[in-house]
Amino acid sequence: MNIIECKDVVRSFGEPPLVILKSLSFSVEKGEFIGITGRSGSGKSTLLYVMSGLDDLSSGEVKISGKNIHDLKGEELHRFRNRNMGFVFQFHFLLPELTTQENILMPARKYREEKKREKYALSLMEQFHVLHCKDKRPSQMSGGEMQRTAIARALVMEPEILFADEPTGNLDSENGEIVMEIFEKVNRDFGTTIFMVTHEQDYAARGSRQIHLVDGEIDSDARTRRIKN
């Protein structure tokens, strides 16, 4: 079953327009772990932002779970993203005044679900080895601990899809490996669909599929392993 469908996706900027994404069409099955690679400027991050509704389309269509997300506006779009998607970026974007637990529960706060999600948040902290940071603020944590906290925050609402933009780009090799192990576990154990932009070819190869972009076009799209249904 396809959870994401992209049809003739175009994104351009400026006047005259600089075309970043050039009529891309592909679909993503539920449970896939896709690594997006390409040189700087190839359109990797732009594609992630357009697919998730964080950026506008110039033309084309993106459907997630059957909904055209670029037809959703305002609160409807925010709610759909909050319920169906999680986001991890190169920088953790934790709120400095909040503890680890409070940061993880931030997506639940808007819908007054902190109590409902608290047990799950503690479970994520334990699985990601940051339970000892439960009452610490970001300034008291290492870079790896902060990124693992950011991943837990992205997952606390149990999204169907995790979008990750260079999630290991600000980490050393040891912490980058820890993050990749978490992603593999989340994909394997939770069945979460993962769409990960990375400049690390070795990391991209650990997913179930690799899409390589060149100048805003799909240069190659290869399945590296079967997904479990």
Pairing of strands 59-64, 67-68: antiparallel
Dihedral over Cα of 46, 49, 52, 56: its sign:
negative
- Res 226 pLDDT > 80: no
Q: What share of the chain is helix, strand, coil (3-state, %, to 5)?
A: 40, 30, 35
Buried b (16+ CB within 10 A) or exposed e, 71-90: ebeeeebeebbeebbbbbbb
pLDDT tens, 20-61? 999 999 999 999 999 999 998 899 999 999 999 999 999 999
Q: Which pLDDT value is given to residue 203?
A: 92
Structural domains counted in the chain: 1
pLDDT tens, 81-138? 888 999 998 888 899 999 999 999 999 988 889 999 999 999 999 999 999 999 999 9
The whole-number average pLDDT for the span 158-171 is 91
Q: Which residues pair with 15 in a beta bridge?
A: none
CATH of residue 147's domain is 3.40.50.300
Task: Confirm whether 208 is domain-assigned.
Answer: yes
Task: Confirm whether 104 is domain-assigned.
Answer: yes
Task: Confirm whether 53 is domain-assigned.
Answer: yes
Both tokens of residue 201? 């070819």
Distance CA 88, CA 75 (A): 21
Task: Confirm whether 133 is domain-assigned.
Answer: yes
Q: Which pLDDT value is given to residue 28?
A: 94
Confidence bin at 225 (pLDDT 50/70/90): low
Distance CA 177, CA 1 (A): 30
Task: Confirm whether 229 is domain-assigned.
Answer: no
The whole-number average pLDDT for the span 7-12 is 96
Task: Confirm whether 228 is domain-assigned.
Answer: no
Residue 133: DSSP 8-state = G
End-to-end CA distance of the chain: 9
> Over the chain, what is the mean pLDDT?
91
Order of strands across the sheet that contains 33-37: 85-88, 161-165, 193-197, 33-37, 209-214, 217-223
Domain enclosing residue 169, as ranges: 2-223
